[in-house]
Every structure is written in C-alpha cells, then in structure tokens.
Structure 1
Amino acid sequence: MRTPWKKAFMLLFSGQIFSILTSSMVQFAIIWHLTQTSQSAVVLTMAGLFGFLPQAILGPFIGVWLDRWNRKKTMIIADSAIAFFSLVLGLYFYLGDPALEFVYLILTVRSIASAFHAPAFQAAIPLIAPEEQLTRVAGWHQMVFSFSSIIGPALGIAVYSAASLGTVLFLDVVGALIANLMLLFVRINQPKAEAQQSSHFIREFKLGWQAFIKVKAIVVITVVSAIFNVGFMPLATLFPYMTMSHFGRGGYSASMIEAVFSIGMILGGLLLGVAASKWKDSTYISWSLIVIGLACLGSGVLSGEAFMLFVLLSFLMGAATPFFNGPYMAMIQRAYEPAMLGRVISLVTSVMLLASPIGLLMAGPLVDRYGIQAWFFWSGLVTLLAGAYLLARLKRLQVEAVNE
C-alpha cells in the first residue's frame, strides 16, 4: 500500500477541517439570523437561491478554465475570495445591520468563488489518490466534512448568541487562512499541459459534454439526482424553520438537529470508508436515496410533540448521505480522464445545483401556505421513488453492459 498519498491527504484534510468548520458556523449563523429577523420561509429560500444559483449557472463554463489552470492555486485563490467577502460582510455588521439585499449580494459572490473551489478540490483528488482508493477517500472526505459540520452549528449559534454574526464571519477568515497554509505543503501533480490546453473555449466545452454523455450510468444518476434535489436541497435551509415553527423550539434545538445530522454523516462516512468495496457504488447510491426518502416521509407526519423522533430521523438522513455523495463522486473520478475531470465535475455539479433553485423557488411560497411538514412529506416521497428507480435502472444498465 502506497503511503505518500495518505500523507498528502492528511495535510489537505487537516486544513480543510478549519475551513469547513468556520464555513459551517457562518452558514448556520446566517440562516438562524434570517430565521429570527424575518420569520419567513420565502426569505430563507431566497438566501438559498442566491447561494446556489451562481454555481449552477457558471459551473459548466468554469470547468473549462479549471482544466486549464493549476488546481492547487485555484483552490487557494477561491478560498481566499470567500474569506474576503466574509470579512466585508462582517465589517458591515459591526458598522450596522446590513440590508437584506446586501446579504444576498455577499451570498452571491461567495457562491461564485465556491463554483471554482469545490470542483477544483474534487478534480484534484484523483491526481493524489490511487484509483482503487477513491471510494474510501470519498468516505474520509465525508467524515472530515461531517466532523466540522457537527461542531459548526453549535459553535455558530454560541458565538452568534454571545457576540454577533460579525464575529462568526471573522472566524471564517481565519479558517480559510489556515486551510490555504496547509494546502501550500501539498503536492498536486497537474495533468499534462498538452491535454488541458486548447485554443477554442467552445470546443473544450463541447469535449467535456461529449465525454460526460458517453457514460450512461453517470448520466442516469445525474438526471435522477437533479429531480431528487428539487425536493431535498431546500430542506438544508428549512431545517431551522421546521424546528422553530413546527416544534416551537429555539436556536440550540436547531443547532442540535444540525449536529445530529452531522453525527450521522460522520458514522456513515466511517462505515463507507471501512466497507467501500463490499458492494457496487451504484448499490450504495440507490439505497441511500431510499433511506433518506423514508426518513423525510416520517418527518412529514410527526406531531409537534415528537421532536426527539425528528432527531432520530435527522440522524438517519445524515447517516445515509455519505453513501450517495461518496460513491457518486468516486464513480465520476474513475470514469473520466484527469484532464477532462474539471469540466465533467463542474457540469455535473451545475446540473444538480440548478435543480436546487427550482426547489427553493417552489418551497418558499408552498411552505408559507401549506406548512413545513408538507414539504418534508412530498420531498420524501420523491426521494424514495428516485432511489427505487435508480436501483432498477442501474441493474438493467449493468446487464446490458455484460451482454454487449
């Protein structure tokens, strides 16, 4: 077993813990601030919309540049940009309460920077880890993300309550600086220059699209994931609203839900890292959607007194999530050449993210009219059906591949 790549990931993930932790603090603190000040699902979903839409629109085009540029430098510059605009918003909060439109603007600019950082990170992983370890590495990544996320909401609400949202935003700057410092010590070998350079932007974009559609299983999962994201992604923004409006609880209960969800993700990521080769990636993906769907359905029928049962269902949703995200990304990283990977990952990410604003635009008015539980119930049903369809469809594709 080769060990240098493991050392590289230890450095990379050690820095990312700080960045993800402080970003999680900021994300939860902003959502809770908007929940308290507006008490409107429309405001929350609009915040999510401004956070998702730029990534969804720009992603396919950004992928072309990612395959041209140095991925390590791209990650550093993008993370620095995110930290800078956290600093700007933090200073604004110290000077006075910023207008809602200004918060939306900062969320938009941070989203643009994230559109470069996230796919650059995922496209760099196959340049470090051996192919047979990609699913296991995906499990590790889910663990790092979840470990930071479990502490983030609790620390975010604690700092927000004790100090201010501005203080939370300043901590995000510190987290980005630590992450970038650790990244400087990680060596990431770039694809060959001749494989990633081209004189025509449109031609490179078309090559990325053509490579993507050649792998039928990835196309099927991406389309189904987009449908699933319409219902499920708004829940990430609406979890605190569910805690406050349906169960009548405050910020610490809301942060506990976030923490329990993240604990589930940690344990799920650990289990995936141990059992990565037990089943096919497609099997993990299908059953994760089925479990998530059942948990959402259950949440949609709970009474206002059943908060602890909601805690349990949130844990199950979190535990199932790594079994979708990890194997799906590992399938993509295996299926495409490194020189093409930035374009494919950006394209896939955009397709899924583009579904999120659609869900957010639908969720705001519907939740205000019919209640938060209705959205949990129907999104759970859609997710359950999506998982069942994938389970049947991917088995059929495997049979067809064997017979060809």
Structure 2
Amino acid sequence: MTDKGFLEQSPEKRSGWQKRFAVFIASQAISLFGSSLVQYAIIWYITLETNSGLMMALSIIFGFLPTFFLSPFAGVWADRFDRKKLIMFSDLGIATATLVLFTVFRLGYHNIWMLFLISAIRSVGTAIQTPAVSAFLPQIVPEGKLMRANGLLASFQSAIALVSPIVSGALMSLIAIEFIFLVDVVTCILAVLILLTLKVAPHAKALEKQALSYWHDLRLGFAYIRDHQLVRSLFLFFAFFFILVSPAAFLTPLQVARSFGEDVWRLTAIEVAFSSGMLLGGLMMSVWGGFKNRIHSMILSVYLIGINQILLGLVPWFWIYVAVMVVVGITLPVFNTPAMTLLQEKVDEAFLGRVFGVLSMISSGFMPLAILVFGPLADRVSIEWQLVVTGILLIVQGVFLHRNKRLIQEGQTRSGSSPVGVVDSVR
C-alpha cells in the first residue's frame, strides 16, 4: 500500500500519528459501545421472546443484507469522497434510525418486525461506514505501524464488546428496551463531535476532479480485485470462512438458551467470555504482531477456531463451554489482524475503499446466506451437530490454506505492490 499524501508529510506530522489514532479510536469506541448495546438488546429480545431459529435467522438477514447490496457502492464512495465525513454522516444516519425505533417502542408498538426494519436501516449506515473506516486508518497510521494499530483497534473493540453485554444485560433488567436505544443515539452524536476534532486531509483521490464515471470506478474496483492474485485468493478464502463460522457467530445464544437455560445472565456470560478472549487476543497481536508471515498467523487461527468450534458442540457443562468461548475469542484477532494488515499493506491506496467495500459485501452476504440455512435447520437438527460439522470443515480449510505456497509467499513480503496492468486493462 502506498499513500503518497501521508508519505510526503513532514516528520513532525508523521510522528504525531499516535495522537490522531487516539482521537480516532475514542470516536470509534464510543460509537461502537452504543451500537453494541442495541445489538445485544435486539438479539436477546428476539431470542427470549420467540426462542425460534427462524426468527433469529430473519433478524440476522435483515441486519446484513442491506450491507451486502450497498457495500460495493460504499467502497466507491470511500475512494471518491472524504472518508472522515462518510464516517460521521453514517453515524448520524444510524442515530436517526435508532431514534425512530425509540419513539415507536415508547408509543407501545413492540413488534418484532419493527426491530427487523430498523436493523435493516442501521445496516445501511454500517455499509457506508465499514469500508470508510478500514480505508481511513492508513491515512493516519504509518505503514510500519499498521499491525500494531490494527491490534490496538481490535483490543479496544473487544473491550467495548466485553463491557457492552454486561451493561446491556443489566439495563434490560432495569429499564425498558427503548431506553437502551436512546443511549445509542447519544453515543453516535458524541462520536461525531469527537471525530470533528480530528484534522486529517482527505486522501489524494478525494481531492481530484473525478474524471471517471461512478460506474466506471466501480467496474475498475472489481477488475483490480480480479487481477490482484493475493486479494482474489483471500476473498475466496474469506467467503468459505464466513460460511463456516456462521453457526458459532449467530446460533450460540440460541444454543445456550435451549441447552443450558433461558437466563439473560447466561447469554451475558458467553458474550463476556468471547469478548474477554478477543481483548486478550488483540493485546497479544498488538505486542507480538504474529508470525513474520501474515498467512502463517491466519493458518494457526483457522486450525484453533475449528477445534474450538467442535468443542462448543460437544461440551455438556456450561462453565467449560464458557472457557472454550474465551479461547475462540483469543484466536479471532490472530486471524483478523494480519488479514486486515495484509490488505492495507498490499492494496493501492486509491483502491482501498472499493476493496474493503467488497470485503464487507462478502462478510455481510455469505454469513446471512449461511444462516438462512443454519437458522431454520436449528429447528430440526441440533446446533451442537452444526458446530461439530462446520468445525471439522474449518480444519480442512486450514489445510488447504497451509498448502497454498503462492499465498504463503505473498504473506511473507511486507512491501506493497499493485498488479501490473490492472488499471490499464479496464480503461
């Protein structure tokens, strides 16, 4: 990845990346905290009110499909426009949708389908924000510090994820769910105000007069991904990975409610365990940085996730189940951090938004499609069996990654490069 605008800054400005990164993290943490409160409140409300795998699947689909359809376009916006402004506008949009949900519930209209509708609207804001955030980070962090920054960002996100289910569970036992929605409105506005204080010049493409049409930019992004061997291979791997982790990601609350008891504290316990593990894993990656070869770190993580996903389907005791959740949480940053850093290092700065937009499309598309199968299947086939089978398939996928010598070679090289002829071939 090359960002001429950043590299041409004075040493004084480049040395101040920690301050800019701290402001950015503060804004993201506050925004994520409010969103997490709402996310847990909605999932638990639907789980406890319906105890239905189908309703859980519908909730996930409504929350992800808008992101799937909008992400490629949002990636173009992240390359054509000021990424900081896109992040702020998406936060304000999410706050507006949540305020509507608060008002509707406050008026006594407690309908599950209203939760689905607002989740879809909030998903639009997420679609705009996700590629903008991922592409914005290299604008404020030197390339040599990206692994550390991604590890720290993962740690902060995990810390928020650790606290938010506890707070959400406590709030659900004390106040009506609509007041949890109101907290998210306040945190979104606060996050925008903090981000306003961050002074970062827009990236080079955003300052240029856009000579190419919007659709040409979109087509150019897809061609870049198609012709970039590393990105293409990683995205294919991610697609299968997201499918296989879907049962563990979305059906474990329902599994706990069915197998161990329909108590909010149990749902809180597994979320806290998972988030604690992610916090430890993120801190570990920010200090250790993983293996010198990014792909080796990802391979290790896939093996461990597969093994522990099998254990989630086999363990009959709740507190051992919780302990396994901690280990799963630790292993995820070992996968996510090097994967994100590798893309930020290897992808040309002008294409970062579109690349991360398509990545967001893959994650928001394949997981709901998978849960559309796994969710209703959970009403016929036990979630435990789903976890065991997908865990075995994850290990098999890890073996395929381990044998991909070309991808491993790409993971070893730190310096970024663009595929020759990608841009010219589209023009």
TM-score w.r.t. structure 2 length?
0.89
Q: 1:186 aligns with which of 198, 211, 223?
A: 198
**In the alignment, which residue of structure 1 is the partner of 2:60?**
48
Q: Tell whether the 8 Å contact from 1:142 to 1:269 is kept in structure 2 after alignment.
A: yes
SS of the residue 1:252 aligns to: helix
* SS in structure 1 of the partner of residue 379 of structure 2: helix
Q: Could you tell which deviates more after superposition, 220-229 or 40-49?
A: 220-229
**1:278 Cα deviation after fit:** 4.1
CA contact (8 A) 2:279 2:330 kept: yes
What are the ranges of 5 or more consecutive residues in structure 1 without an aligned counterpart?
A: none
* 2:234 aligned residue: 221
Q: Which moved more, 1:61-70 or 1:72-81?
A: 61-70
Q: What are the equivalent positions in structure 2 for 1:271-350 lying under 5 Å apart?
A: 271-276=284-289, 278-303=291-316, 306-350=317-361
One-letter amino acid of the structure 1 residue matched with residue 19 of structure 2: K
How far is the alpha carbon of 1:151 from its aligned partner?
A: 0.6
**Greater shift after overlay, 381-390 or 291-300?**
381-390
One of 354, 358, 363 as aligned partner of 1:352: 363
- Indicate conservation of the 8 Å contact 1:128/1:189, yes or no: no
| Letter of the 1:226 counterpart | A
Distance in 2 (CA, whole Å) between partners of 1:29 and 1:234 is: 20
Query: Separation in 2 of the partners of 1:329 and 1:140?
Result: 13
- 1:73 counterpart (56, 63, 85): 85
Indicate which of 277, 283, 297 corresponds to 1:264: 277
User: Structure 1 stretch 94-103 or stretch 80-89: which is displaced more?
Assistant: 94-103
> Structure 1 residue runs of 4+, over 3 Å off?
193-196, 394-397, 399-402
**Alignment of 1:96 onto 2:105:** no
TM superposition shift of 1:336: 1.7
Deviation of 1:15 (Å): 2.1
Matches within 5 A, 1:372-383: 372-383=383-394
* Residue pair 1:221, 1:390 contacting (<8 A) in 2 also: no
Which stretch shifts more, 203-212 or 360-369? 203-212
Kindly tell me: are residues 398 and 82 of structure 1, through their superposed partners in 2, closer, same or farther at Cα, counting changes over 3 Å?
Answer: same
After TM superposition, the structure 1 stretch with the greater mean CA deviation from structure 2, 219-228 or 288-297, is: 219-228
- Which amino acid in structure 1 is aligned with residue 189 of structure 2? L
Unaligned runs of 5+ in 2: 1-10, 414-427
Identity of aligned residues (%): 30
Matches within 5 A, 1:68-217: 68-193=80-205, 197-217=210-230
Of stretches 87-96 and 383-392 in structure 1, the one that deviates more from structure 2 is 383-392
What letter corresponds to residue 159 of structure 1 in structure 2?
A: L
For 2:274 and 2:34, the matched residues in 1 are separated by: 17
CA drift of 1:129 comes to 0.6
CA gap of 1:267–1:196, structure 2 versus 1, over 3 A, is: farther
Q: How far, CA to CA, are the matches of 2:411 and 2:352 in structure 1?
A: 26
Aligned mate of 2:250, from 237, 245, 261: 237
Q: 1:371 aligns with which of 368, 382, 389?
A: 382
Q: 1:332 to 1:195 in 2, by over 3 A?
A: farther
Conserved? CA contact 1:147–1:266, under 8 Å: yes
Matched to 1:160, the amino acid is: M
Matched, 1:248 2:261: yes
Matches of 2:271 and 2:84 in 1, distance apart?
31
Residue 169 (structure 1) shift: 0.6
User: Does the residue aligned with 1:368 lie in a helix, a strand or coil?
Assistant: coil
CA distance in 2, matches of 1:27, 1:174: 15
1:20 aligns with 2:32: yes
Q: Secondary structure at the match of 2:97?
A: helix
- Cα separation, partners in 2 of 1:151 and 1:400, compared to 1, 3 Å: closer
Distance 1:58 1:400, change over 3 A: closer
Task: Give, in whole Å, the separation in 1 of the partners of 2:355 and 2:209.
Answer: 13
Deviation at 1:395, TM superposition (A): 5.5
**2:66 aligned with 1:60, yes or no?**
no
Contact preservation (8 Å) 1:222, 1:352: no
- TM (norm. structure 1) is 0.94
* Contact preservation (8 Å) 2:296, 2:408: no
- For residues 136-164 of structure 1, the C-alpha deviation after alignment (integer angstroms, 9 at most, x for no partner) is 11101100100000010111011111101
Return the letter of the residue paired with 1:322.
P
CA deviation map 1:104-158 (0-9, x unaligned): 1111110011000111111100111111111111101100100000010111011
Note if contact 2:230-2:407 (Cα within 8 Å) is conserved in structure 1: no
Alpha carbons of 1:191 and 1:162: their partners in 2 closer, same or farther (altered >3 Å)? same
Residues 234 and 356 of structure 1 are in contact (CA less than 8 Å); yes or no, is this contact kept in structure 2? no
